[in-house]
Amino acid sequence: MKTRVLVVDDEPALTRMIKLNLERAGTYEVYTENDGVNAIDAVRDFRPDLILLDIMMPDKSGDDIAQELRDDPRLCNIPIVFLTALVTPDETGAKASKIGGNIFLAKPVSADELVAVIEKTLNSGG
Amino acid sequence: MKNPLAVIQMGIDHLTHQNEGSEITRMTLHDMEHAVRKADGTIRKLLDYSRGTPPDMKAADINNEIRTVLDLISHECHLHQILIEANLTDELPWIVMDTDQVQQLFMNIMLNAVQSMEDEGGGTLSVSSKVKKLNSTELQRDSTGTLSSGDRVVWVEIKDTGHSIDEKGLGKVFDPFYTTRPLGKGTGLGLTVSLNIIRNHDASIDIRNRDEGGVSVLMMFRAKEVTEE
């Protein structure tokens, strides 16, 4: 059974590229969403095993989406990997501790790094 | 800028797997990946510079920061036949500083020196530290214009035996994106960031050519009576 990954990022070209790279591996089924406002509905519809979530999006931020997911008992256990354009470990660390998230990945990230982080997150139980 | 780079990086990864048999394509993609990393590095430096992060100031021995950086660059020096001469005076007055920033400052300056000597096929990197009461001649190297004759400073000088900087260039070394490195080799932000760090520490920096060739970078930090916390 394939791992279901939801990618939420307002940059369509990036979500397309992530989908292409992950699906090439053959073990992922990827669904993309480019509007933060629709992210929660996408989670409910797609039921992902893991969410790749951009932080800075125009209509609804990744922080807010993560908080909503954490407040929903049916969705709160889905692991989240944040994708961020923030650059320093201090900044990303502070954000993670604030919203109880998992791992932050600074853009640009390579496909290999992305897969490694996804697998590590899933294997650590989120 | 990070999003376009992320798209390009992922695109490169995808194409790399699509073109496993083609050597030229693989090399081209490798070059593109290298360029993405370089652009990412430049953006990080630019963000460091523009962000102006408030320094985390505490009293420390500046010799520790010099030794840390010398340790980090020693392999690079060895690789390029560059001899390190360190003449650090023990028991300097402690300086109130952000140690990470001061390390970055020394790293930027020493790497410039190393690159300059690399071009010459080797040389000597001299680093000295001492405490000084400024006389009128030394005062001419105060870039702040606020030090006075008789002021006590911690004096850190980094000298190389690489190439000199032309007079026009000396006036521009702190300008953002000014570099004497070949196209694509330097970001031109190292000394701009360094000047910011110097200002954060109310210190002075003077860069000038040495008569015997190479460059001298002199930094002066105000020596205040501080005690270990």
Read out DSSP for A87-120?
Answer: --HHHHHHHHHHHT--EEEESS--HHHHHHHHHH
Which distant-in-sequence residues (6+ apart) come within 8 Å of B128 by Cβ? B86, B87, B88, B89, B155, B156, B157
Look up the CATH number of the domain holding residue A32. 3.40.50.2300
Give me the domain span that covers residue A34. 3-123
Percent residues over pLDDT 70 in chain B? 88
Contact A111 B13 (CB under 8 A): yes
Q: Which residues of B touch A111 (CB under 8 A)?
A: 10, 13-14
Contact A24 B14 (CB under 8 A): yes
Tell me the pLDDT tens digit for each residue of A15-47: 999 999 999 888 999 999 999 999 999 999 999
Q: What pLDDT, on a 0 to 100 scale, did the predictor assign at position B53?
A: 66
Least confident range of A41-50, A90-99, B113-122: A90-99
Q: Which residues of A touch B13 (CB under 8 A)?
A: 17, 21, 110-112
- Distance from C-alpha of A40 to C-alpha of A62, rounded to nearest angstrom: 11
Strand order in the sheet with B215-222: B82-88, B123-133, B152-159, B215-222, B204-209
Task: With H, G, I as helix, E, B as strand and everything else as coil, classify residue B167.
Answer: helix
Tell me the pLDDT tens digit for each residue of B170-201: 878 887 767 766 555 566 778 888 888 898 89
Task: Read off the pLDDT of each residue in B79-87 and give the average, rounded to a whole number.
Answer: 95
- B148/B160: higher pLDDT: B160
Chain A closest CA to B5's CA: distance in Å?
6
Q: What is the mean pLDDT of chain B?
A: 85
Q: Which residues of A touch B9 (CB under 8 A)?
A: 108-110
Q: Which of A20, A24, A108 shows the shortest C-beta gap to B5?
A: A108
Confidence of residue A94 (pLDDT cuts 50, 70, 90): very low
Reply yes or no on whether the pLDDT at B74 is more than 60.
yes
Q: What pLDDT, on a 0 to 100 scale, did the predictor assign at position A37?
A: 92
Question: Which residues of A make CB contacts under 8 Å with B?
Answer: 11, 13-14, 17-18, 20-21, 24, 83, 85, 87, 106-112
Task: Read off the pLDDT of each residue in B101-129 and give the average, rounded to a whole number.
Answer: 92
| Count of domains forming chain A | 1
